[in-house]
């Protein structure tokens, strides 16, 4: 049976406690694991299990689940304070929802250094999903390598490393942030300017259209979505809809989100909007502050 999970806020609290120390010698030799992936959290990876050891002794074992609201990458994993020269080891396994076997595993080992707070980068790479390494080796970027990284090769920990960390949707080749408005409840479909779109009655009243987005150059997790609309003929602005979203990786550098329900008769009678042109405006801003906007005029079906 897998270890029970704990809330992410408790993990971060422990990390902060370890960082503050108590003035002891151990508190001066710290390692922070920076965990990243090029796979989509919530789609290709649903949960991870990690084990940390200091000098061969397990100091933490945990399971984090996207479905439980605990898993978001990139992230920092805490390691107990260590003495100078202590061996620090991390083992990580990533699972798809419902799968018993891990799709990717990774090990990383280094040594703590007195007076330094090291950042140990560990990536869960899609290229490693079909790679099996011999005992003692681990897979990184599709190749079997020695898991040991000399502390002299590691940078000091800087909390800003997350801003430039590898991401499933924001890659070096993805270019400037850009979004394309489409439609669809369960998949992305193109949406032409002036296209007639159907509306559906919602479960709690009101009528909505299903919107979708194709995205480049923005982070996969934690982006803030804002959807607004304006009926020019009625001189009526719809109340905007906002949410924090997770993108799904599509082909190449494209990522998508679909099933965006936008109510079109909030504050209006539904008969008043039928056959009317609606100007839809969408903005998406990621945790780094990068932002993209797009607009599309649609016509509500008569």
* Structural domains of the chain, with CATH: 8-164 (no CATH), 178-300 (2.60.40.1940)
Separation of alpha carbons 69 and 50, rounded Å: 17
Separation of alpha carbons 166 and 73, rounded Å: 10
What's the rounded mean pLDDT across residues 215-232?
94
Give the pLDDT confidence score for residue 156 in this predicted structure.
95
Please give the share of the chain, as a percent, with pLDDT higher than 70.
Answer: 91
- Confidence label for 6 from pLDDT (cuts 50, 70 and 90): very low
Separation of alpha carbons 235 and 279, rounded Å: 11
Tokens 């990139």 sit at which residue?
74
Residue 81, pLDDT above cutoff 50: yes
Residue 222, pLDDT above cutoff 90: no
The token pair at 103 is 């799709």
Residue 13, pLDDT above cutoff 90: no
Specify the pTM.
0.74
136-160 pLDDT, tens digit per residue, is 999 999 999 999 999 999 999 998 8
Cβ neighbors of 172 (< 8 A, separation 6 or more) are: none
Give the pLDDT confidence score for residue 171 in this predicted structure.
82
Give the pLDDT confidence score for residue 2 in this predicted structure.
42
Annotate 116-156 with DSSP letters as a single string.
EEEEEEEEE-GGGTT--PPTT-EEETTEEE-SB--GGGSPB
Give the pLDDT confidence score for residue 188 in this predicted structure.
95
Separation of alpha carbons 287 and 74, rounded Å: 11
Give the pLDDT confidence score for residue 163 in this predicted structure.
83
- Confidence label for 165 from pLDDT (cuts 50, 70 and 90): confident
Q: How many residues does the chain have?
A: 302
178-217 pLDDT, tens digit per residue, is 999 999 999 999 999 999 999 999 887 899 999 999 999 9
The token pair at 243 is 């949410």
Separation of alpha carbons 60 and 69, rounded Å: 20
Residue 27, pLDDT above cutoff 60: no
Residue 12, pLDDT above cutoff 70: no
- Partner residues linked to 263 by β-bridges: 208
Separation of alpha carbons 214 and 179, rounded Å: 6
What's the rounded mean pLDDT across residues 19-28?
46
What's the rounded mean pLDDT across residues 269-294?
96
Average pLDDT, the chain: 88
The token pair at 91 is 């083992």
Give the pLDDT confidence score for residue 217 in this predicted structure.
93
Give the pLDDT confidence score for residue 23 in this predicted structure.
39
Separation of alpha carbons 142 and 157, rounded Å: 26
- Angle (CA) 171-174-180 rounded to 5° is 130
The SS3 assignment for 28 reads: helix
What's the rounded mean pLDDT across residues 29-55?
92
Give the pLDDT confidence score for residue 103 in this predicted structure.
95
- Partner residues linked to 216 by β-bridges: 178
């Amino acid at each position: 049976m897998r270890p029970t999970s704990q809330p992410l806020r408790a993990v971060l609290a422990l990390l902060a406690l370890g960082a503050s120390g108590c003035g002891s010698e151990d508190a001066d030799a710290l390692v922070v694991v920076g965990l990243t992936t090029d796979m989509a959290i919530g789609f290709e990876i649903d949960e991870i299990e990690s084990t940390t050891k200091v000098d061969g002794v397990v100091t933490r074992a945990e399971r984090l689940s996207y479905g439980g609201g605990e898993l978001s990458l990139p992230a920092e994993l805490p390691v107990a304070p260590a003495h100078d020269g202590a061996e620090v080891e991390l083992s990580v396994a990533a699972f798809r929802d419902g799968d018993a076997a891990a799709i990717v595993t990774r090990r990383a080992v280094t040594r703590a250094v007195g007076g330094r707070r090291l950042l140990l980068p560990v990536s869960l790479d899609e290229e490693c999903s079909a790679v099996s390494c011999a005992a003692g080796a681990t897979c990184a970027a599709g190749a079997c390598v020695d898991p040991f990284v000399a502390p002299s090769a590691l940078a000091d920990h800087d909390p800003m490393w997350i801003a430039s960390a590898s991401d499933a949707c924001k890659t070096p080749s993805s270019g400037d942030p850009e979004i394309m408005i489409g439609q669809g409840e369960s998949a992305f479909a193109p949406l032409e300017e002036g296209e007639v779109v159907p509306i559906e009655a919602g479960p709690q009243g009101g009528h909505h259209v299903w919107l979708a987005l194709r995205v480049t150059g923005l982070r996969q997790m934690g982006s803030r979505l804002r959807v607004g609309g304006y009926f020019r003929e009625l001189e009526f602005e719809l109340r905007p809809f906002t949410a924090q979203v997770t993108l799904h990786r599509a082909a190449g550098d494209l990522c998508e989100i679909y099933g965006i329900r936008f109510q079109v008769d909030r504050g209006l009678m539904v008969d008043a909007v039928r056959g009317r042109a609606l100007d839809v405006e969408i903005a998406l801003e990621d945790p780094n502050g990068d932002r993209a906007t797009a607009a599309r005029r649609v016509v509500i079906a008569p």
